[in-house]
Structure formats: structure tokens, C-alpha cells
Amino acid sequence: KQEVTQIPAALSVPEGENLVLNCSFTDSAIYNLQWFRQDPGKGLTSLLLIQSSQREQTSGRLNASLDKSSGRSTLYIAASQPGDSATYLCAVRLDSGGSNYKLTFGKGTLLTVNP
């Protein structure tokens, strides 16, 4: 059974700091990995999607890397801003034929960027 772990559970940083969020998964046979943002009491916004054959994806100040063999991904946020404050969720899809539509989520990292 795939398990996704995110470390740290919470992170508080001053504005402007660069930071890294970590995600690990137990089954390396993934189809892709996705990072989401969730604001309090809201749905999910997709940030970056990395296919299993890719090593990283970038969007603006965000960079996500994937090391499939070691079961790890990181989300790098450059020059953090108070508006980045949210919960960041990592989710993986298994490459398992008929079940590869399922997303398995981690519990998330609650990020607070202080002005």
C-alpha cells in the first residue's frame, strides 16, 4: 500500500526566505507526482505535476524535483511571500494499470510566511 509522508508538518519562515518542503513515498512505481496548495477551508489548486520520467518541473518561484528511485520529491519555494501561506500537499499516482487513476495524498505541510 502506497504511503506518502510530508516533512515538516508545519513550517514558519520570515518573508523573503527560500524554503524546501519534503515528500516521500513508499512505492517507487509511480505514474506521476503532483504538488497542490490548499488554503484554509478551501479546495486544492494544482501547482506542479511531474511525470515519472521527469526529474523536475518549474513554475515561477516554485521548483519541484523528483527522485523516483529513492521515493522522494521536494518543493522549493524561492523568495517566499506572505501570500504563499497555505497547506502544501504532495500526491502520487501509482503506475499500476487499472488503478493508476488514484491519487494518494500526504497530510501536508502547513506553511506560514511572516511579513
CB of 20 closer than 8 Å to CB of 75: yes
DSSP 8-class letter at 24: E
The bridge status of strand 109-114 relative to strand 10-14 is parallel
Query: Closest distance between other proteins and the C-beta of residue 79, in Å?
Result: 27
Segment near other proteins (CB under 8 A); pick from 22-30, 34-42, 54-62, 64-72: 34-42
Site for other proteins in 73-112 (CB under 8 A): 89, 91, 93, 100-108
Handedness of CA 20, 25, 30, 34 (dihedral sign): negative
Given 4, 48, 75, 77, the residue binding other proteins (CB under 8 A): 4
When asked if residue 62 is in the footprint of other proteins (CB under 8 A), the reply is: no
CA distance 75 to 98: 29
When asked if residue 43 is in the footprint of other proteins (CB under 8 A), the reply is: yes
Neighbouring CB atoms inside 10 A of 93's CB total: 20
Query: Closest distance between other proteins and the C-beta of residue 32, in Å?
Result: 8
List of residues contacting other proteins (CB under 8 A)? 4, 32, 36, 41-46, 89, 91, 93, 100-108
